[in-house]
Amino acid sequence: MTENATRFEVSSATARSTGPERSRVSEALDRADSGTAVIEFIFAAIVLLIPVVYLMLALSQLQAASYATTSAAVSASRIAARDANPSERRAEDVAAMHFADFGLPDVPVTITYSCSGPCGQAGSLITANVETKVPLPGIPLLFGSANSPHITMRATHSDVVATTVQG
């Protein structure tokens, strides 16, 4: 029992010492902790920074697709309001221009029209529906374009035919 008590006294005396023994202990602890800041920074960058950057890229691409889809719907309805037989090819070309302006040149676009009343008659309402499927950034490189996940964007815009359009 005295042997254990002696060991306890020695270890507690070492912990309470303020002389050269204490500085050797703190130096040993400092050396054991040196170099971990770089490892912690790399780990934090991988775990936190990379997902945040990917999220920013994905959100910016979706926002661009939203703007392009809305612009394409507005243009398509205006084209249809000015032409009794709207040229779907012309509307698709204008939609492709909008998507290229927003940095999405190869996104598939579907444009459909509906009319309330006779199409092309003054006062009738022409509605253009635009739908597109936007792939998430980087995913088509991994899985291929056909199998990549996507987000569907839809926009509609209606325009009134002001005067009777000659077809």
Q: Per-residue confidence of the chain (167 residues) as pLDDT tens digits?
A: 555 554 544 454 445 555 556 677 666 666 666 667 888 888 888 888 888 999 999 999 999 999 999 999 999 999 888 876 667 888 899 999 999 999 998 889 999 988 888 877 788 888 999 999 998 887 767 776 677 788 999 999 999 887 754 55
Rounded CA gap, 7 and 47, in Å? 45
Sheet bearing 150-160, strands edge to edge: 109-116, 125-135, 150-160
pLDDT at 164: 58
Single pTM value for the model: 0.69
Rounded CA gap, 94 and 96, in Å? 5
Structure tokens at 105: 């040149």
- The answer to whether residues 129 and 80 touch, using CB atoms and an 8 Å cutoff, is no
Structure tokens at 52: 């945040």
